[in-house]
Amino acid sequence: MNGRKAEWSPGKSRQEEVWAGAFGDAYVDRNRRLDQLAGKRRLFARILARAPGVQSVLELGANIGLNLIAIGELLPHARLAGVEINGKAHAELARIPRVEAHLASLFDFTPETPFDLAFTAGVLIHVAPERLPEAYDRLHAASRRYLLVVEYYNPTPLEVPYRGERGLLFKRDFAGELMDRFADLALVDYGFVWRRDPVFPLDDLTWFLLEKRGGTGP
């Protein structure tokens, strides 16, 4: 068993419908990039070195699970779980040993207990801005100690056309907004990965590792 399947009912938002459907299926087919595993291992090795004591990891929007595969190699005894809205991607995620795969929108998933590390990677950029506060609340509630966002950064909110479509990709300061929303969050570290890295190329992503250190929520 790779974890329970959570039922998801479409129609909550255009973005959820798009990613659960054929558009999301096409994304799965474009991103079977096993050649990126070395870069992902390097990325998460740097991040996890700054997050001692992690024994459980949850990814919200896990796609086919490449991030969790890399993390599993670095944390061979950790509990791993992924939430994925697209059925085609979820089917592949569920085949990964050790991974608890949940078929759900991040807005419909509530873990029974928080994880040491909860994160998104290339997911918040696809959430409609008006739903981001709820997404932040879900991510914060899912974390016992660390939150990680690996997303496209921009100092001010910016919408970018995505494969000829509007309303599907947004850049902004996700980590800054999380810290403004939750007084218990503190910055641990941040960094950037570059698509033109000569050894470990990945997409142009900025990552921020945050830690719960007391205080209150919104």
pLDDT at 5: 38
Contacts with 13 (C-beta within 8 Å, 6 or more apart), sequence order: 128, 131
Give how far the C-alpha of residue 89 lies from the chain's centroid of Cα atoms, to the nearest Å.
Answer: 14
Beta bridge partners of 119: 59, 148
pLDDT at 32: 67
Q: Which of 213, 211, 132, 205 is nearest to 174 (CA)?
A: 132
pLDDT at 104: 96
pTM over 0.85: yes
Distance CA 166, CA 178 (A): 25
Distance CA 130, CA 7 (A): 24
Question: Rounded to the nearest 5°, which phi and psi values hold at 109?
Answer: -105, 130
Distance CA 31, CA 5 (A): 23
pLDDT at 79: 98
Could you tell me if 105 and 16 are in contact, meaning their C-beta atoms sit under 8 angstroms apart? yes
Domains in the chain, CATH or no CATH each: 14-212 (3.40.50.150)
pLDDT at 203: 86
Distance CA 207, CA 213 (A): 19
Distance CA 158, CA 171 (A): 5
pLDDT at 140: 98
pLDDT at 12: 67
Give me the count of residues in the chain.
218
- Given a cut of 70, the residues of the chain with pLDDT beneath it are 1-12, 19, 21-25, 27-28, 32-34, 215-218
